[in-house]
Structure 1
Amino acid sequence: MYDIRTREIQEAIEAADVALDHLERAKRCLSSASGWGLFDTLGGGFISGLIKHSKMSDAENEIDKAKRALEKFSKELRDVDGYSSVHINGFLTFGDLFCDGFLMDVIVQSQIGKAKHECENAINQVTSIRNDLKRML
């Protein structure tokens, strides 16, 4: 029985590691998009707007992967006594805004900042649970 418990904890830790990897990648993409978005807002032009949207697309792809990884983490966590599931409230509701102009640039910057903040919160929550799991071994 001890071996089963240990294995379940290790599987949950591995799932947490995958989720954290995608969350960290998403955070880096969002930071890059934010930098390009600021440049775009200050008059960077067409090219900076394209780069910003490319970085936003990269972030969205990583967020999608992170969501799937978090679902797996939640499933693995249910196998560990004392955990029912992972609840990361309102996790990363990040949408596309492909309009241009100063006002839209400001709105996009706000959305990027919100998504980055939610990503950081998710990283903190998963890291905390992962640390708890490590202590259980």
Structure 2
Amino acid sequence: MREGEITEAIAACDQVLDGIEAAMHDLKGAQNWGIFDLLGGGFIVSLVKHGRLSRAQQSLMEVQYNLRTLQKELRDVSGAIELSVNPNGMNMLFDIAFDNIFSDLITQSRIHEVRAELTDLEADVRALRRRLGEIKRAM
């Protein structure tokens, strides 16, 4: 295990964390616009909400890509220690074509679920990053 491999794994953790932050930001925005939509916001509000959902979905795809990179980097490091991160099959948001109160409620529920999954993933990646930092300092 080389110091450079640990540095690369730490950088991969940072990439994942940056993506989670971006996704959480867009999901929060979509959630806020979704509440307004539930209160009768109308067509424009729905467009803004779905725009935020589209950006969040793109961020989630980047998080998944960065997680694969992180897992690859961890294989390089794990010769001496078992380190892993499990995205728990992180679900992607789905887009709802119909705009009614039922679909709005389902969308709000999914946003809440995905944000909770991201919060758990963020905690796991932060813990992993701390552990990698400890290993690097001990070298």
CA distance in 2, matches of 1:47, 1:72: 38
Structure 1 gap ranges (5+): none
Which residues in structure 2 correspond to 1:1-137 (within 5 Å)?
5-80=2-77, 81-83=80-82, 85-137=84-136
Instruction: Give RMSD over aligned pairs.
Output: 1.2
Equivalent residues of 2:84, 2:128 under 8 A apart: no
Runs (4 or more) in structure 1 with deviation over 2 Å come to 83-86
Q: Secondary structure at the match of 1:79?
A: helix
Deviation at 1:86, TM superposition (A): 2.5
| Equivalent position amino acid for 1:48 in 2 | V
Equivalent residues of 1:63, 1:92 under 8 A apart: no
CA distance in 2, matches of 1:93, 1:108: 12
CA distance in 2, matches of 1:133, 1:100: 46
Equivalent residues of 1:92, 1:119 under 8 A apart: no
Does 87-96 or 126-135 show the bigger shift?
87-96
How many pairs align?
134
Structure 2 gap ranges (5+): none
State the TM-score, normalized to the length of structure 2: 0.92
Deviation at 1:87, TM superposition (A): 1.7
State the TM-score, normalized to the length of structure 1: 0.93
Identity among equivalent positions (%) equals 38
CA distance in 1, matches of 2:91, 2:85: 15
Q: Deviations over 1:26-85 (max 9, x none)?
A: 011000000000100111111110000000000000000010001000100111131354
CA distance in 2, matches of 1:87, 1:75: 13
